[in-house]
Chain A
């Protein structure tokens, strides 16, 4: 179910950001900016990707990443959902 999957991704993203930023992270809304509002920085991107790979069983292709992917919470959730769907399609 897309809604359920989005909720799972949002929870994993929240946990990942809490780990990477080492502070309490507020409830995530789609229009929140990862850098402007949540204070993620470039160094944290790699750590966050690792956290998400662990928690969601993702395999991220680093060459696919663009600044737009990390613009907002909603954009990153959309990218992760596409990654997961792509992996499912590949499996069958």
Chain B
């Protein structure tokens, strides 16, 4: 069982209060949430990565993932969003206690730009934020880059986190691998590469003798982007040739392909004093190789859970020594042979799991189960929340019910729509139910209902 699934009863403060205490020393501080998804783009600006991997194809949708931040803000907090929450969606969330903060928006929502860039270009919002400075109000970004530092300087609001240079350094996969090696945790066989020569040597070693494919990942790649799977020495040499055309510097890791039982994600909070508090562990649920979402609590045996909690302490200490404090999420993996790889990479920032912490405290009662998921849809026009509500019908979780589909973001369903043309849209949700089979069944029914909704249009 994970920490965030505890019932709200008892003296333990909620996740946001615990986070405030850890990073500011004041659990009653006020946060201005700023959910700058894909902050890696800002961290990686100018860094040599993989050829073609820096291209962005769905920026408008990714930039609106930030709407999920309204579910995380506590009473008294504020949330900067690129655009207001649709009134019908806000009215749905409010009785669930999930739209507790006040939303602030910039003068203009420029779809290709992340929220921080919009905020920096908005004199009205900058003035509003500056007016909040009272010594105990903090900017709480998803991750701190130079852009968030500029916003802090422009508004006079301090950041609830370390500086951008520290955040960038500890978020690199090169840092994660080096920390795993130093800590004695089980690494995925592979190498860190800072030059094309090192990449060539690593690929030669790990692609030799038909030992299976390797994955090459940009140090600051994110969400399945900035990686390539290579299955032959010939492809390895080809990648090296392409990379060499850009110069000798590169920042990637090479890892052997591991057949996995499941992907795992756990999160913890590193406090300013260096103490580490474990929060949650979640397992990726797949069916027929297709990703269905993250399940929590996961079907792990207690030994694995204990191993991850121990790894969190080790990694958290390493992060603290590097000057980091705040939320950290770690991708881990249980191999099909039973080997637990406790750290594939550290994301020293908010993660999708972070945004589920507060809702889980309110809605996930002991003994029940949740599946955090996304529905990939192909709408030909923008669908409002009222349509989503009608499509889901009784499947939709409402205040007072303990089982159903909780919609957590609707902006991503509309952001990438070109009217009259089949477009890409995402609806984020958390299915709450009695167990893994129940939440997966809820997901399947909801997927059919939502697909019918877009087909009818």
Contact = CB atoms under 8 A, between A and B. Distances in A.
Given A41-B224, A43-B224, A46-B228, A62 B52 contact: yes
Contacts of B242: 46, 49-50, 53, 60, 62
A61 B238 contact: no
Given A42-B226, A62-B245, 11 more contacts: A35-B57, A35-B58, A37-B422, A43-B224, A46-B53, A47-B228, A49-B51, A49-B52, A53-B238, A65-B51, A67-B57
A63 interface: yes
A92 interface: no
Query: In the complex, which of the residues A41, A46, A53 has the most CB atoms of chain B within 10 Å of its own CB atom?
Result: A46
Contacts of A35: 57-58, 424
B457 interface: no
Interface of A: 35-37, 41-43, 45-47, 49-50, 53-54, 59-63, 65-67, 70
A53 B58 CA distance: 26
Contacts of B227: 43
Contacts of A50: 235, 238-239, 242
Interface residues on B, range: 20 to 34
Contacts of B52: 42, 45-46, 49, 62, 65
Interface of B is mostly: loop
A61 B226 contact: no
Contact of A42 (B57, B235, B238, B245): B57
Majority secondary structure of chain A interface residues (helix, strand, loop or mixed): helix
Given A49-B242, A50-B235, A43 B225 contact: yes
Nearest to A33: B421
Contacts of A67: 55-57
A60 B50 CA distance: 13
List 10 tightest A-B contacts by C-beta distance, closest first.
A62-B51, A42-B225, A45-B52, A46-B228, A35-B57, A67-B55, A65-B52, A50-B238, A46-B52, A62-B246
Nearest to A37: B422
B423 interface: yes
A61 B422 contact: no
Interface in B407-439: 421-424
B55 A70 contact: yes
Contact of B424 (A36, A43, A63): A36
A29 to B, nearest CB: 14
Nearest to A68: B55
12 contacts: A35-B424, A36-B422, A42-B57, A42-B225, A42-B226, A43-B225, A46-B228, A46-B239, A49-B242, A62-B52, A62-B243, A65-B51
